[in-house]
């Protein structure tokens, strides 16, 4: 099957899930378990996306390069409660320095 088939199938599935969410009764959505689940899923998906984009290489391999250095520098800046723009600049500078010294 072609790539477009899978793209259309994914879009249709996402639309159906969104529509199903609107059909759920409000009393079910007000339960604390749904709020906890939504928070946990959001954090988990964002964390997995961050890890995949940081250490994901070609063909599913693990690539340790300047992206990991940038993520670590950004995490330190966040821990020190730096403003968001400073975190971004620190991460960019760390990646640039890592590439300058020869990291891929």
Q: What is the pLDDT of residues 51-60, one digit of tens each?
A: 888 888 777 7
So what's the pLDDT on residue 56? 82
Contact between residue 77 and residue 90 where contact means Cβ atoms under 8 Å apart: yes
Alpha-carbon Rg for the chain, nearest whole angstrom, is 20
Phi, psi of 16 (to 5 degrees): -65, -40
Kindly report the pTM of this predicted structure. 0.60
Give residue limits of the domains in the chain: 1-30
pLDDT in tens, 18-38: 999 899 899 888 899 988 998
Confidence label for 93 from pLDDT (cuts 50, 70 and 90):
very high
**How far apart, in Å, are the Cα atoms of 61 and each of 34, 52, 57, 64?**
35, 10, 5, 10
Q: Which residue is associated with the tokens 């378990």?
A: 33
- pLDDT mean over 64-78: 92
**pLDDT-derived band at 16, boundaries 50, 70, 90:** very high
């Amino acid at each position: 099957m072609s790539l477009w088939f899978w793209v259309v199938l994914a879009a249709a599935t996402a639309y159906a899930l969104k529509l199903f969410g609107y059909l759920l009764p409000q009393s079910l959505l007000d339960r604390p378990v749904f709020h906890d689940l939504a928070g946990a899923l959001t954090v988990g998906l964002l964390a997995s996306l961050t890890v995949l984009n940081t250490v994901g290489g070609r063909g599913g391999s693990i690539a340790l390069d300047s992206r990991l250095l940038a993520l670590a520098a950004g995490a330190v800046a966040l821990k020190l409660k730096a403003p968001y723009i400073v975190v971004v600049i620190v991460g960019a500078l760390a990646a640039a320095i890592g590439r300058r010294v020869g990291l891929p």
